Structure 1
Amino acid sequence: MKNIHSYWAYVVLIVLIYAVVNASIGFIKKKEFTDKDLRIGLFGLIVCHIQLLIGLVWYFMSPWFAALISDAGAVMKEKSVRLLAVEHPITMIIAIAIITVGWSKHKKKTIAIEKFKIFSIFYGVGLLLMLSKIPWSNWFS
């Protein structure tokens, strides 16, 4: 599960970066919001939710969850363990919730520039949160 979660993260990042760039260009250039733009946003939402499910399954199987349950105080004192046991999962859940809110809000808008703006802001904030709590040392070791 850990490997699946790690490799799928690359897909999530690529799709989210593409979605944010696409929405930002659409917003700046005042483009028409097309089915392609809708699908890019939807695909971003789907890959994030798949990653969330994989991550939750892995988390409850992981040694960090077991450590958190057995001795939360020790986990909170150790920066690297705290990142994996607490900060990473909570931040990712918040990021995916923000992306999901962005998806819901864009559906209520009828003007293309507003749809692009919603995607740019919500998907962008979600992406930044994700980037802030990726355990980079685990990816490159």
Structure 2
Amino acid sequence: MIHSYWAYLVLLVLVVAVINSIIGFSSNKSFSDKDLRISLFGLIFTHIQFLIGFILYFVSDRFAAWGELGMGVMKNSELRKLLVEHPLMITIAIALITIGWSKHKKELTDKRKFGKIAFFYGVGLLFILAVIPWNQWFA
């Protein structure tokens, strides 16, 4: 359950970070400590969620399906989503968010810092939203 509840916080922080960066980019604000912290919280929350999910992946009952079905998991759409698509896309999303964090630190102008955060965090957020198992979330 912590993986599901923490996901709400992750989504909230990522949405705030993306909106904050878009506003900062479009209004030519200076990149302040507040903006840095918002982006950093987005990075930290997503990494914590990734660790929770990584542990859950290997201890869940669904992981046993790999041993029972092997590559037959790919024929079952629900298992494929939970055991292949979700972890893969989330890993890519977290990698993009991490890249955005790293790239923003190397930028010299505030506008480009906001731009890196907005782009990479935004694409990562879209990837996350695309692979959330919504049918299980609202069940």
Instruction: Give yes or no for TM over 0.5.
Output: yes
**Post-superposition, which runs of at least 4 consecutive aligned residues in structure 1 deviate over 2 A?**
none
Among 3, 10, 27, the alignment partner of 1:5 is: 3
The DSSP-based 3-state class of the residue aligned with 2:108 is: coil
Among 117, 128, 131, the alignment partner of 2:129 is: 131
CA RMSD after TM alignment: 0.8
Among 20, 26, 29, the alignment partner of 1:28 is: 26
Q: Give, as a single letter, the amino acid of the residue that structure 1 aligns with 2:37.
A: R
Q: Give the match for residue 45 of structure 2.
A: 47
Structure 2 unaligned regions, length at least 5:
none
Give the whole-Å Cα distance in 2 for the aligned partners of 1:37 and 1:87. Answer: 32
Q: Give, as a single letter, the amino acid of the residue that structure 1 aligns with 2:6.
A: W
Alpha-carbon displacement from aligned partner over 1:68-110 (angstroms, at most 9, x marks no partner)? 2332332100111110011001110110010000000000011
Give the whole-Å Cα distance in 1 for the aligned partners of 2:69 and 2:60. Answer: 15
Structure 1 unaligned regions, length at least 5:
none
Identity %: 57
Residue 7 of structure 1: CA displacement? 0.3
Deviates more, 1:65-74 or 1:102-111: 65-74
Give the whole-Å Cα distance in 2 for the aligned partners of 1:31 and 1:75. Answer: 49
Alpha-carbon displacement from aligned partner over 1:14-40 (angstroms, at most 9, x marks no partner)? 000000000000001111110000000
Q: Give, as a single letter, the amino acid of the residue that structure 2 aligns with 1:95.
A: A
Q: Give the match for residue 97 of structure 2.
A: 99
Q: Give the match for residue 108 of structure 1.
A: 106
Number of residues of Structure 1 aligned to a counterpart in Structure 2: 139
Q: Report the TM-score, using the length of structure 2 for normalisation.
A: 0.97
